[in-house]
Amino acid sequence: MPLTSLIFEDLGRTSYQDAWDYQTFKHKSLIENKLKYKKDGFLTYEQPHVLIFTEHFPVYTLGKSGSLDHLLLSEEEMKARSIDFFHINRGGDITFHGPGQIVGYPILDLECFFTDVHRYVRFLEEAVIRTLTMYGVEAYRTEGYTGVWVRGNPISGATDAAAQKQRKICAIGVHLSRWVTLHGWAFNVNTDLSYFQHIVPCGISEEDKTVTSLQYELGREVDIEQVKERLKNHFATLFECQFV
């Protein structure tokens, strides 16, 4: 059986608004394409599925189920720090996007893969988990929380308070319309973690939980292009697709 074709696009560093407009355009195109095929009676059809990678300029985004109370800065304070803010239609609470982070936006028609939202989110998590394994980092899922977490002592040998906690390294929030996906993940690679001090990340306020980055875990800056390539390959394996 031939592999499903998937377009890969790395947009480089973008404003959140520009990336949001672009992925919304792609999302709408897939829905319109699907409806046209179905109207014409096609049971199977091809779609221009796309996986988008980008890094954003500093921005906080709040999901539709999130609380504005989890943003700890005023509008003036965010402006002074050159941080944007968007209230968006993905699931989840508040998170940060910024330089040194791989933000992935898969725009997929899941009717061409499988119609199972739970499986879809698990596959996104698994792609990140497999990538982290290649750096010797033990990552896992934790019950009740979407995303990817790190356990155990950091390879870096860090002994600060963060090293003793459960550490979230990748946030995931998705939205589906007519089985076409929108939004995706934010994977902290060389991310400046100080930005997370001004929010309650993903609404998680427990004292034994915090956020981390691959750089913190390893104690060195990481080649983000290498991480992207490995992540992309694991994504292709899980979704049984090939990039064109």
pLDDT band for position 144 (cuts 50, 70, 90): confident
pLDDT at 161 over 70: yes
Closest C-alpha to 93, from 114, 118, 66: 66
Asked if 202 is an active-site residue, the reply is: yes
Domain residue limits at 134: 4-243
Residue 91, classified by CB atoms within 10 Å of its CB into exposed (0-12), middle (13-18) or buried (19+), is middle
Say how many Å lie between the first and final Cα of the chain, rounded: 17
Query: Does pLDDT of 121 surpass 90?
Result: yes
Q: At 174, is the pLDDT very low, low, confident or very high (cuts 50, 70, 90)?
A: very high
Three-state SS string over 162-191 comes to HHHCEEEEEEEEEEEECCEEEEEEEEECCC
Please tell me which residue in 112, 170, 202, 241 is annotated as part of the active site.
202
In tens, the pLDDT along 10-59 reads: 999 999 999 999 999 999 999 999 999 888 887 788 899 999 999 999 99
pLDDT digits (tens, 9 = 90+) for 91-103: 778 889 999 999 9
Question: What is the length of the chain?
Answer: 244
pLDDT at 2 over 80: no
Report percent pLDDT > 70 for the chain.
99
Structural domain count, the chain? 1
Answer yes or no: is pLDDT of 203 > 80: no
The residues, ordered by sequence, that sit 6+ positions from 56 with a Cβ below 8 Å of its Cβ are 13, 14, 15, 16, 19, 97, 98, 99, 101, 103
pLDDT at position 1, please? 55
Domain with residue 235: its CATH number is: 3.30.930.10
Q: For 221-242, what is each residue's pLDDT tens digit? A: 999 999 999 999 999 999 999 9
pLDDT band at residue 145, thresholds of 50, 70 and 90? confident
pLDDT exceeds cutoff 90 at 64: no
